[in-house]
Structure 1
Amino acid sequence: MSTPVIFGSDHAGFALKEQLKAFASKLGVQVVDVGCDSLQSCDYPLFAEKLCSRVLADKCLGVLICGTGLGMSMAANRRAGIRAALCANEYMARMTRLHNNANVLCLGERWMGAGLAESVLETFIKTEFEGGRHQRRIDLFDSL
């Protein structure tokens, strides 16, 4: 993959972020980390904003991780141009890329096992947007 995948988390997603960065590197993905850098308590919206800015600027994919994935997905989806999806399995990851052209994957460390998280991430990264009729619907996101 020629463009990087941007990773971000809060303290509750830090350990899974570190594992997924290593996994992505093994897949040949260029990894960029926008924080956080420890298990010390921090505010997830700040890291969602950092990641979204990079995803939009670099026109690449991002991965946000917190305890549930819910807070990160809500924070990320406040930005125009960001289509963040909380995915619990490979099917959701595949369909959100195929039909929704999601550019940010959200995951929850407190409920998702590491093996499943790796599989979901790989599916998200490797699936391309289908375009066609789906693009018309994506265009409506920022026009309604």
Structure 2
Amino acid sequence: MRGNVLEWRKNAKESEGAFRIQAEGKDGGMKIVIGNDHAALEMKREIAEYLKRKGIEVLNVGTDSPERYPYPLAGYHVAKTVADGEADCGIAICGTGIGISLAANKVPGIRAFACSEPYSSEMAKRHNNANVLCFGARVVGTELAKRIVDAWLNAEFEGGRHKERVDMITELEKNGRLEKNRR
């Protein structure tokens, strides 16, 4: 198990180019929904093309115009698509990644996170089973964004004690509280 960012970077360099993604595109492989506001138009295009080159089917629910487009709307559309089972997971991009992640997390069943480096991206999947990755086009460059995406997609949810914690998040989402006897 990788314990820190430096160790992750070392391991990532050693395994560069080796991906566990086994997507087959439209023939039953992975489907990712991607959405963006106006600040992330170019980043969305580049990440969508990157995913397509990997054989991943990409569903675009973001704006394709440089005109203003509200990040809550983009975050909602990505999250709703994932929650409805129309995509395996989602990527939402705005200027910082923060606002769009806040909006996405309002949709029941969504575990969205804002990220600006690969280690946290990997851990969001391994420990939190995060289903929507958010980042900022004004915060990370394209190459770093690709590494963040790869770290997340290549990671697998570990389950076990982490599943118990994700279940607590789901309980909190549904009931607005946790059981009294939990610490």
- Displacement after TM superposition at 1:3 (Å): 2.9
What count of residue pairs does the alignment treat as equivalent?
144
Question: C-alpha distance in 2, partners of 1:131/1:14?
Answer: 35
- Deviation >6 Å, runs of 4+: none
> Partner amino acid for 2:66?
L
CA deviation vs aligned residue, 1:57-82 (integer Å, no higher than 9, x gap): 22511000000001001101112210
Unaligned stretches of 5+ in structure 2?
1-22, 24-28, 173-183
Larger relative contact order (C-alpha < 8 A, sep ≥ 6)? 1
Gapped regions of structure 1 (runs ≥ 5): none
- Which residue number corresponds to residue 4 of structure 1? 31
Structure 2 residue 123 is matched with structure 1 residue 95: yes
Q: Which has the larger radius of gyration?
A: 2
TM-score, with normalisation over the residues of structure 1? Answer: 0.96
SS state of the match for residue 17, structure 1? helix
Percent identity over the alignment?
39
Query: How far did residue 18 of structure 1 move?
Result: 0.4
The DSSP-based 3-state class of the residue aligned with 1:142 is: helix
Query: 2:161 & 2:47 partners in 1: Cα distance?
Result: 32
Distance 2:139 2:170 in 1: 32
CA–CA separation in structure 2 for the residues paired with 1:9 and 1:55: 15
Structure 2 length-normalised TM? 0.76
